[in-house]
Amino acid sequence: MLSLSMPLLAHGDLSMRIAEKTIAISEDPDNSELYYERGLLYQQHMEYDNALEDYLKSQSMGNSNKALYYQIAEVHFLTKAYQEALQSINSYLELDSMDLSAKKLQAQIHFNLKSYKKSLEGYRTVILNMKDIRPEDVLEYCNIILAENNKNYKAALKAIEYGLDQLGPHTISLQLKKLDYLKDAGLTEKALEQYNYFILEYSRNEFWYFKKAKYLVEIHKPHEAFISLKMATVAVEQLDTKFKNMGPVIELKEQIKSLESSLNNQKS
Amino acid sequence: MIKKSTFLLVALSSVFSFSQTSHVDLPNVSDVAVTMPVSHPQHSTSVTVVRGPYLQSGTPTSVVVKWRTDIATESVVHYGKSLKSLSKKASSNNVTTEHEVALSGLSPNTKYYFNIGNKAGVLSESVSGEMYIITAPKAGTKQFVRAWILGDAGTANNNQRNVRDAYYDYVDAAPKNSGKTDMMLFLGDNAYGSGTDEQYQNALFDIYDDMLKKSVAWSCLGNHDGKSADSATQSGPYYDIFTFPTAAQAGGIASGTEAYYSFDYANIHFIILDSHHTSREVGGAMYNWTKADIQNTKQDWIVTLFHHPVYTKGSHDSDTEDRLIEMRQNFMPMMEANGVDLILNGHSHSYERSYFLNGHYGFANTFNPDDISKGGHTVGSNGYGDGKVDSNGAYQKANTAAEGAVYITTGSAGKISGGDLNHQAMSVSLNQLGSCVMEVEDDGRGGQNLTVKFIRDNDGIDDYFTINKSAWVLNTDRNASGQKSAGLLYDADKDLVRLDVDKNDKLKKVKFYNNIGKLVKKSRRKTINVGKLPKGLYVIEVITNQKAYTESITIE
């Protein structure tokens, strides 16, 4: 007899629902839908082997629902069986070529198979057609762009701008990535402008002055770095006491001191 | 009493213009709010409000009013400071069943009564004034704030109703600010089992209808909401029902997504995270946003909410489940270091409330009740106490130390599911139905108390605690240390900076750098006119024949 008691505390409701579904299967063993439904529960419970077993069982019993192909592809993807994942998502897309979630999964599978051109092409379709993209989508797209050509910062920055246009000009994760790309591409003036953007945009800017100073040191502008460090010091001084006593600010003060001392040593 | 009137809307086939929401001032319109003449019934269709109205994304100057009608029609909101004179109007000519009207240009901390309707008339109103918006105070305002916290409420059964009614009883009988609920904070799993639109109707709108008409609702995504909602495409009932700020409209930093966002209310900064669908990795988009957001706030209190609990031994286990462990290990070190005060979670259907903690990121059995100064995980002499003013005393958060936060897993607003309920970091663990209320108020000593109470379904208050910040100088403006330093005097009235150069030194050069480090002014004089310099922070580099040094000044 199936015991309901043991796994309950692991994932609460989910474990209970798996157990209930198992009982339902035992009462109606020829119902392919029940295996599919239990597979979904197993997948949520991160029991991927069990999920896949149920999906395949459901398929072997005649379930040809396109959603099943998607789930099989997703479980293969999660378990890094990318070839199998690709096969299944392709079957799904044969039934529904316009589904953007499936296109996205296909692009992610291609990426992991290092088929970067195909991945890029697919993800571009997703980015341009998805109604509500997220910052994460734009960042993933940029990642694929640079995997396909690790010098193509121009395209990556263009994708960031597209994201900012879609999601709002101050979307922080995109602005942060823009800074990374400008620095990596050696576009120093634009990178400095980007640091200034953060300094001007945010109400607390002590961290940004310091980060800018560090970058100025990296690009051999010690005097500008020195001025930025002074700005950082003043910004810290102007904070309320409660913020001055927070760990990250205490650490920042030490970092400012250290960089200042290193700059002074360079001078002398 | 709130009245949902069904009116006859004639000629739906009329040509409507699809303009954007518009705002106009009207003469008193409340008199036309009750009835509409019935003409040509054979061509008429009745329009009924079947959901709402409910309030979203409240800021000091704006709010979004949403509702649903059974038949597509235009959207009209009449509003005003007097119930008898709803003289302002915001409307949209778009014909829809899903109505969303933004009211803007409002005054902070101000009560506005409103009704909703279409071009033909009012569809829902409260003649007794129970439909209103109280706009948020300006960020930084120190005042009484009450938030109703509901975790895993969405059962749509009598358990949920009893928990609701117990809160209504509490707030109606509250000795201070009776009847006032500034916001509702939903901790996810707002509608079982899959967060479908129908389930939301049953478990959210039908249950909290009265409160949703006068209190802005905020939420994080729960795993059950996530079954029908897709954060990857920000679609599905959860994302359709709620409207959250993505571009920092309510304060904080723009996240670009409704999955995670922040807002300010009075002197409290709220950070809402998605612990279900979104990556919880350090360095991921949500982590980077959270870090930037928390390091940018100047608010006195920081409260965060997300569904999966940092600590629980209820119907879930924070020692074994990945989302719970990741939130604890990835997010909490950064959030604690930056001063978070209160962490609100659901998921386990019980009430578990921690001691005053810092730095406990391991399993339950690694919890050390000693003070952090002795290598433990509690803060202050009474951090391992119950936090009750009338018992071990309120937890103290001093100006000289940023550590100390209380973690609450409160997921029993709709059902209880038991569990071992023995997490060592928890001061209280109860397998009881209930919801929480958070109240922030003056402590009478220049500081504030943040008190949370667990209100049982039977009206009992089975737990409470207080965090006190009386030692803090709350909400002071930035000090003026930049205006004057030892080596200079700034005379703001005359726009003059006078440098005090060592008498043995000969001044050679003075350079002014603006707030982005750009050289904006040079001089060789000791007294310099800065009248033409824009307001802001400047670093002044002073070079003499003996040395070079810097001063700073804030021109205001």
3-state secondary structure A67-83: HHHHHHHHHHHHCCCHH
Question: What percent of chain A shows pLDDT beyond 70?
Answer: 95
Of A136, A172, A199, the CB nearest to B253: A172
Window 170-209 of A, Cβ < 8 Å to B: 170-174, 176, 196, 199-200, 202-204, 207
Backbone angles phi, psi at B126, to 5 degrees: -120, 110
Query: Do you find a cis peptide bond into B108, omega within 30 degrees of 0?
Result: no
What the block records as the tokens of A101 is 């979630």
Give yes or no for B402 touching A (CB within 8 A). yes
Type of residue found at B186: F
Specify if A209 maps to a domain. yes
pTM exceeding 0.90:
no
**Other C-beta atoms within 10 Å of A155: how many?**
16
**What b/e sequence results for B421-452 when a residue is b if at least 16 CB atoms lie within 10 Å of its CB, and e otherwise?**
bebbbbbbbbbbbbbbbbbbbeeeeebbbbbb
User: Per the CB < 8 Å rule, is A135 touching B254?
Assistant: no
User: Per the CB < 8 Å rule, is B400 touching A241?
Assistant: yes
DSSP state of B519: E
pLDDT for res B101 = 98
Give yes or no for A66 touching B (CB within 8 A). no
pLDDT over threshold 70, residue B476: no
pLDDT over threshold 60, residue B15: no
Could you tell me the pLDDT band of residue B322, with boundaries at 50, 70 and 90? confident
Specify if A227 maps to a domain. yes
The Cα–Cα gap between A225 and B383 comes to 43
pLDDT over threshold 90, residue A2: no
Could you tell me the pLDDT band of residue A254, with boundaries at 50, 70 and 90? very high
pLDDT over threshold 60, residue B477: no
pLDDT for res B402 = 80
Question: How many angstroms away from the CA of B253 is the closest CA of chain A?
Answer: 7
Return the residue of A nearest to B288 by Cα.
A173
Return the residue of A nearest to B318 by Cα.
A10
Type of residue found at B121: G
CB of B194 within 8 A of CB of B228?
A: yes
Domain that holds residue A239: 186-268
Residue of A234, A239, A241, A244 to mutate, testing the B interface (most B Cβ within 10 Å of its Cβ): A234
Q: Which residue has the tokens 């020829």?
A: A30
Give yes or no for B543 touching A (CB within 8 A). no
Of B248, B256, B347, the CB nearest to A173: B256
pLDDT for res A208 = 97
**What b/e sequence results for B60-97 when a residue is b if at least 16 CB atoms lie within 10 Å of its CB, and e otherwise?**
bbbbbbbbbbeebbbbbbbbbeebeebbbbbbbbbbee
Which chain B residues are Cβ-neighbours of A208 within 8 angstroms? none
pLDDT over threshold 90, residue B153: yes
Return the residue of B nearest to A227 by Cα.
B517
User: Per the CB < 8 Å rule, is A237 touching B482?
Assistant: yes
Give yes or no for A112 touching B (CB within 8 A). no
Longest CA span, chain A? 85
CB of B255 within 8 A of CB of A171?
A: yes
pLDDT, mean of residues B146-159 = 97
pLDDT over threshold 80, residue B8: no
Question: How many angstroms away from the CA of A200 is the closest CA of chain B?
Answer: 8
User: Per the CB < 8 Å rule, is B539 touching A234?
Assistant: yes
Any idea which of A53-57, A252-256, B285-289, B545-549 has the lowest mean pLDDT?
B545-549
Mean predicted lDDT score pLDDT of chain B: 89
Question: What percent of chain B shows pLDDT beyond 90?
Answer: 78
pLDDT for res B493 = 87
- Cβ neighbors of A264 (< 8 A, separation 6 or more) are none
Any idea which of A63-77, A217-231, B19-33, B183-197 has the lowest mean pLDDT?
B19-33
Mean predicted lDDT score pLDDT of chain A: 92
Give yes or no for B319 touching A (CB within 8 A). no
Pairing of strands B342-345, B301-305: parallel
Window 500-539 of B, Cβ < 8 Å to A: 513, 515-517, 537, 539
Give yes or no for A53 touching B (CB within 8 A). no
Specify if A10 maps to a domain. no
Specify if A130 maps to a domain. no
pLDDT over threshold 50, residue A239: yes
pLDDT for res A7 = 37
Return the residue of B nearest to A196 by Cα.
B516
* Count of structural domains, chain A: 1
Pairs of CB atoms within 8 A across A/B: 162
pLDDT over threshold 80, residue B496: yes
User: Per the CB < 8 Å rule, is A203 touching B298?
Assistant: yes
Backbone angles phi, psi at B302, to 5 degrees: -125, 120
The Cα–Cα gap between A179 and A196 comes to 11
Specify if A258 maps to a domain. yes
Of B278, B296, B554, the CB nearest to A203: B296
CB of B554 within 8 A of CB of B488?
A: no
pLDDT over threshold 70, residue B379: yes
Specify if A57 maps to a domain. no
Specify if A196 maps to a domain. yes
Which chain B residues are Cβ-neighbours of A248 within 8 angstroms? 295, 337-338
Which chain A residues are Cβ-neighbours of B292 within 8 angstroms? 172, 176, 202
Return the residue of B nearest to A199 by Cα.
B516
pLDDT for res B30 = 35
